[in-house]
Amino acid sequence: MGMVEGPGERRGTKKKQRRHRRIGFSLDMTPMVDVAFLLLTFFMLTTTFSKANTMEINIPPATGEVKVAGSNVMTLRITEEGVAYCSLGDERPLRIPLYDGGELRRLSLSADLRSLLRRETAVNSKLVIVVKISNRARYRNLVDIIDELNLMKIDRFSLDDYTLEDDLFIKKAA
């Protein structure tokens, strides 16, 4: 542990040197290193690591095209303002806010959007929902929509690119 030299011990061996009144001190660091490793081991073994949140998306094979009637396609366009435009086939899109209470209160999708999705999937069992999200929109909007579709057990949906034609389609409707 700690060692202290006695007061009568000399440091030098030459005759002309005076006695030093300094007390020598050496500290054994072994117990401190042991405690440090014990704490490190304890915290490594007792903490839990966060699991990555992943979402499974099945992508169809690249070969072949799937043809769907226009009346069985609902297009859901998401803009950067957090507004969803829903249209069935070539109908005029219906403007629905994506969240109840605006962007600041992002607990779940709006009740209007959820009821529309439930109603349309109940009426048409062959309905395919195409989700198009603007490049300037938040990624969280897409994740929330896919989560909501999974919660409602709607498994017939597709992701598509948001194009300039979609912007024009929305502007014509407004």
In the 8-state DSSP scheme, what is residue 50? P
- Mean pLDDT taken over the chain: 81
pLDDT at res. 155? 84
Tens digit of pLDDT for each residue in 115-150?
888 998 899 888 889 999 998 988 888 888 888 888
Cα–Cα dist 149/153, whole Å: 6
Domains and CATH numbers, the chain: 3-9+19-46 (no CATH), 71-173 (3.30.420.270)
Tens digit of pLDDT for each residue in 46-67?
888 777 777 676 676 777 677 7
pLDDT at res. 3? 58
Distance spanning both ends of the chain, measured CA to CA:
83
Neighbouring CB atoms inside 10 A of 109's CB total 23
Q: Which residue has the tokens 């043809």?
A: 67
pLDDT at res. 11? 53
- 145, 99 contact by CB (below 8 A): no
